[in-house]
Amino acid sequence: MKKIIILGTIIMMLFVTGCGKKDADDIIKDLDKKIGSATTYQLEGALQITNNDDTYNYDVVVSFEEPSKYRVSLTNTSNDHEQIILKNEEGVYVVTPSLNKSFKFQSDWPNNNSQVYLLESLLKDIQNDKEKVFEETKDGYVITTKVTYPNNTNLIKQKITLDKDLDFKTVEVLDSNDIPQMIMQFSNIDLKANFDDNFFDLDSIIEQIDIEDQNDGSNNEESNDTTEESNVIDDIIYPLYIPTGTSLVDKEKVAKTDGERIILTFDGEKPFLLVEETVSIEDEFSVIPTYGEPFLLADTVGALSSNSITWVSNGIEYYIVSDAMSQIELIEIANSISAIPTMK
């Protein structure tokens, strides 16, 4: 009888101990429950992007309301240039206050690839990877998963760090050499955020921009002076990367009503056209229908289609088009251009 009692006690201790220990599947289920039960959230953090030898830093604020409303503010810390990616029932927009413009897309964003600053995208990557690596640390957990960046095949995987409460702390997106190309650090996550009824409306954002402009008249004057100076392209910027068997064959400068346009023609095995022109700031906020998908380059958010990419950087609008190159090659040329202004 005594042996039976001792054996029963041991079994109960093993049972209790086993119940107290959670494995990787349990942790991921808890994470799914935590994120999945949130009907809204707002997070803040810092995003670092590496492009060749240059580093770009963004302050990031993400707001979400189910089922699919997003408002993502990306502010380049080097020049305080803000862009807002907005998704609501009417479409996807990239709002650029400095130009008084919004570019409207008919897009599947953010579902078309991994998103380093969206919680449900990170959770989806974790759940979809059958070969993910789970590690428990003294401070929390590290989950390494594959990523889906169809336009940047050099990005292979991501290391997601969570604390003991299953709050996201950092995400590192790594290349094939295990070198971080994007690092997202989360400073605050509110899974019970409250938003005004019109928070995700484009008109509400435009009104907010107008109010900020009115309250900052001196800065507007400085901005107008800068725009006046940018009506002339002082230096033609050539891409650092040009496909093998391709070279510059023609260069043309065209005067616009409010500035200049440079047209560079490259011919050979991978012909393409590169257009650089001074940007124009609209007197009244305008919405411009745009073909393609929002795409985060090193220092700005641009538009990427099957055969073209366009973006604005340092007062210049760039446009690359080619029927002979893949999107990856277009992006490689664009990245080689976007690295140049920081070197001046």
Cα separation, 90 vs 11, in Å, equals: 60
- Degrees to nearest 5, angle at CA 62 with 59 and 112: 105
Task: Count the neighbouring beta carbons within 10 Å of the beta carbon of residue 193.
Answer: 16
Contact 100, 284 (CB under 8 A): yes
100 has a pLDDT exceeding 80:
yes
What average pLDDT does this structure show over 135-150?
96
18 has a pLDDT exceeding 50:
no
The tally of CA atoms less than 13 A away on the side-chain side of residue 76 is 20
224 has a pLDDT exceeding 80:
no
39 contact partners, CB below 8 Å, separation of at least 6: 65, 66
Any idea what DSSP says for residue 210? H
19 has a pLDDT exceeding 70:
no
5 has a pLDDT exceeding 80:
no
151 has a pLDDT exceeding 70:
yes
337 has a pLDDT exceeding 60:
yes
What average pLDDT does this structure show over 92-120?
94
Contact 174, 157 (CB under 8 A): yes
* Domains of the chain: residue spans and CATH: 24-190 (2.50.20.10), 228-278+305-343 (3.30.200.100)
Contact 97, 85 (CB under 8 A): no
pTM: 0.87
2 has a pLDDT exceeding 90:
no
What average pLDDT does this structure show over 95-119?
93
The dihedral sign for the CA sequence 230, 233, 237, 243: positive
Any idea what DSSP says for residue 199? T
Phi-psi sector, 225: left (phi>0), alpha (psi -120 to 50), beta:
alpha
